[in-house]
Amino acid sequence: MKTYITKTREATIKLGEKLARTLKGGQIVALIGELGSGKTTLTKGIAKGLGVKNSRYVNSPSFVIIKEYRGKKPLYHFDIFRLDSVKDLDTIGYEEYFYGNGICVVEWADKIKKLLPKKYLEIKIKILKNNDRKIKIRK
Ligand SMILES: Nc1ncnc2c1ncn2[C@@H]1O[C@H](COP(=O)(O)OP(=O)(O)O)[C@@H](O)[C@H]1O
Ligand SMILES: [Mg+2]
């Protein structure tokens, strides 16, 4: 388990970039943390680190559940927040993504823990005082 404190949005993006360098194809990054904690911000950094062009346009894919980005490895960005039912995930064929060769980043992963493959990288983000964020990474 590693714990980081970031004091700015930019620092969280930097952390995402650093993290991206350690990610292998087929990995799942499960992001857990309240609204506004920085899940999407961290994902932007991961996208940047994977060489996704225009990674600054990475935003919460709330209405489509998933967005795909082309980087050194394919990046699949999930947002479970507005998911009405787990059936919607079946409809998009989530298993192809979760068990495929790309990197899956899942916001609100705690809502679908049962569907996640056994192994995933769990990242919990907490809002501290000021703009600080505590980011815990568990392998
Ligand atoms: N240290 C920090 N790390 C990440 N985001 C921060 C930080 N400080 C302030 N922010 C702000 O908090 C918000 C995080 O939003 P976002 O990443 O969309 O959260 P989530 O996806 O978890 O709902 C952004 O407006 C960002 O600018
Ligand atoms: Mg978000």
pLDDT of residue 137: 98
Band of the pLDDT at 85, cuts 50, 70, 90?
A: confident
Cβ contact 46:19 at 8 Å: yes
Spatial separation of the C-alpha atoms in residues 64 and 8, rounded to whole Å: 28
Q: What distance in angstroms lies between residue 118's CA and the mean position of ligand 1's atoms? A: 28
- Indicate which CATH number applies to the domain containing 83: 3.40.50.300
Could you list the residue range(s) of the whole structural domain that residue 20 is in?
A: 2-138
- Provide mean pLDDT across the span 47-63: 87
Query: Residues enclosing ligand 1, CB less than 6 A?
Result: 6-9, 11-12, 33, 35-41, 60, 107, 131, 133
Residue 88: its pLDDT value, please?
85
Nearest to 121 by CA among 45, 44, 48, 19: 19
pTM: 0.96
Which residue puts its alpha carbon closest to atom 17 of ligand 1? 38
Centre of ligand 2 to C-alpha 1, Å, is: 23
Per-residue model confidence (pLDDT) at position 62? 63
Q: Which of 16, 26, 48, 28 is nearest to 135 (CA)?
A: 16
**What is the count of structural domains for the chain?**
1
- Residue whose Cα lies nearest atom 11 of ligand 1: it is 9
Region 82-88: what's the mean pLDDT?
83
Whether 64 has a pLDDT exceeding 80, the answer reads no
Specify which of 8-17, 53-62, 110-119 reaches the highest per-range mean pLDDT.
Answer: 8-17
Q: Which is the closest atom of ligand 1 to the Cα of 81?
A: 23
pLDDT of 78 over the 90 cut = yes
